[in-house]
């Protein structure tokens, strides 16, 4: 599947019952929850595109938007990589395998893969920002022949904060150049040290005009990433960011996620940089 038209739920307000099939600890305070639908018919018709998110609902606690971090071609389970950051995520972190919760989705826009066939693709992630990009990696590697050079540049505060390290060798074998860096080294780390943009600045980009860049992570990281990419010759129209502020309803009604003229849950979370450049660095919009 290489389409970029976002999949939409038939009824955006209907929450389906899912159970926690498996919990995989990732980094301190972060775990991946594999969810499965209790209704086989719902499972059979559910599809999502890389970059989309679900609303996870815990009765009596609340609801939260979480990006889907699994393989779009595997409908048997829906991985969501979650960092403990508030009441809902703290409660989610306490769920054991077999626990039930509600799920609405999928929502939002997706990374534009279909429109960039034939181009070199650079993915730049910071911290938990790799989770929304992992479905892109699965899609790219499943359709490796459709794209040029594939590169993942991934930064974390410490080596212990790097997500999915057990998958890197497999990704490399299948044609993805994986480069990692950390802000602070620890004993045993022999890799790169420094901010992730330095990895981009070191790259040779012979086809910069035919290179597309997807980035996800802290907004300040994405801001500096796109500035470095522009200096490297990547056109503004080939730069895409994922913005995920305060998404509460997923359909653009509550207004909590308004970002300038955009509603992140409905118009995003994936945006072309040229669409949000004027407001990306403005705080508290």
Higher-pLDDT residue of 265, 191: 191
Q: Please tell me whether residues 127 and 90 are part of one structural domain.
A: no
pTM above 0.85, yes or no: yes
Is 48 exposed, middle or buried, given 0-12, 13-18 or 19+ CB atoms closer than 10 A? Answer: buried
The reply to whether 257 sits in an annotated binding site is yes
Q: Give the mean model confidence (pLDDT) for residues 118-136.
A: 97
Q: Please tell me whether residues 142 and 217 are part of one structural domain.
A: yes
Domain containing 169 — which CATH number? 3.40.50.80
Residue 266 belongs to some domain of the structure: no
Residue 257 belongs to some domain of the structure: no
Distance CA 75, CA 43 (A): 7
Give me the pLDDT at residue 4, please: 57
The reply to whether 7 sits in an annotated binding site is no
With b for 16 or more beta-carbon neighbours within 10 A and e for fewer, the 68-95 pattern comes to bbbbbeebebbbbbbbbeeebbebbbeb
Q: pLDDT tens digits for 74-98? A: 877 899 999 999 999 999 999 999 9
Q: Please tell me whether residues 23 and 96 are part of one structural domain.
A: yes
The H or E element spanning position 135 is helix 130-142
Angle subtended at Cα 276 by Cα 157 and Cα 198, rounded to the nearest 5 degrees = 35
Q: Give the mean model confidence (pLDDT) for residues 107-119.
A: 96
Short-list 9, 52, 8, CA closest to 268: 52
Binned at pLDDT 50, 70 and 90, residue 235 comes out as very high
Q: pLDDT tens digits for 213-230? A: 999 999 999 999 999 999
Binned at pLDDT 50, 70 and 90, residue 285 comes out as very low
Is 232 exposed, middle or buried, given 0-12, 13-18 or 19+ CB atoms closer than 10 A? Answer: middle
Return the number of other C-beta atoms located less than 10 Å from residue 275's C-beta.
18
Give me the pLDDT at residue 5, please: 67
**Domain termination site, one of 72, 107, 142:** 107
Tokens of 251: 């359909």
Domain count, the chain: 2
Name the residue range of residue 188's domain: 114-242
Residue 285 belongs to some domain of the structure: no
């Amino acid at each position: 599947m290489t389409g970029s038209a976002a999949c939409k739920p038939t009824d955006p307000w209907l929450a389906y019952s899912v159970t926690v099939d498996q919990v995989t600890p990732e980094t301190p305070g972060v775990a991946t929850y594999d969810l499965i639908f209790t209704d086989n018919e719902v499972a059979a018709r559910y599809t999502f595109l890389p970059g989309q998110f679900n609303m996870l609902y815990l009765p009596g606690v609340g609801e939260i938007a979480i990006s889907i971090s699994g393989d779009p071609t595997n409908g048997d389970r829906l991985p969501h990589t979650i960092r403990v950051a508030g009441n809902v995520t703290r409660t989610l972190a306490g769920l054991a395998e077999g626990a039930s919760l509600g799920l609405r989705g999928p929502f939002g826009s997706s990374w534009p893969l279909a429109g960039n066939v034939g181009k070199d693709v650079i993915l730049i992630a910071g911290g938990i920002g790799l989770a929304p990009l992992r479905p892109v990696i699965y899609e790219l590697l499943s359709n490796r022949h459709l794209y040029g050079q594939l590169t993942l540049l991934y930064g974390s505060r410490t080596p212990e904060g790097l997500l999915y390290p057990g998958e890197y060798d497999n990704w490399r074998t299948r044609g993805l150049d994986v480069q990692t860096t950390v802000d602070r080294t620890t004993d045993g780390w022999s890799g790169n040290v420094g901010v992730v943009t330095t990895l981009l600045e070191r790259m040779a980009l012979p086809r910069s005009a035919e290179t597309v860049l997807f980035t996800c992570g802290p907004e300040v990281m994405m801001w500096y990433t796109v500035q470095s990419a522009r200096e490297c010759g990547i056109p503004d129209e080939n730069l895409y960011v994922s913005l995920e502020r305060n998404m509460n309803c997923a359909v653009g009604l509550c207004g909590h996620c308004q970002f300038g003229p955009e509603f992140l849950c409905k118009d995003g979370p994936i945006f072309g940089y040229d669409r949000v450049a004027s407001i990306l660095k403005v705080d508290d919009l």
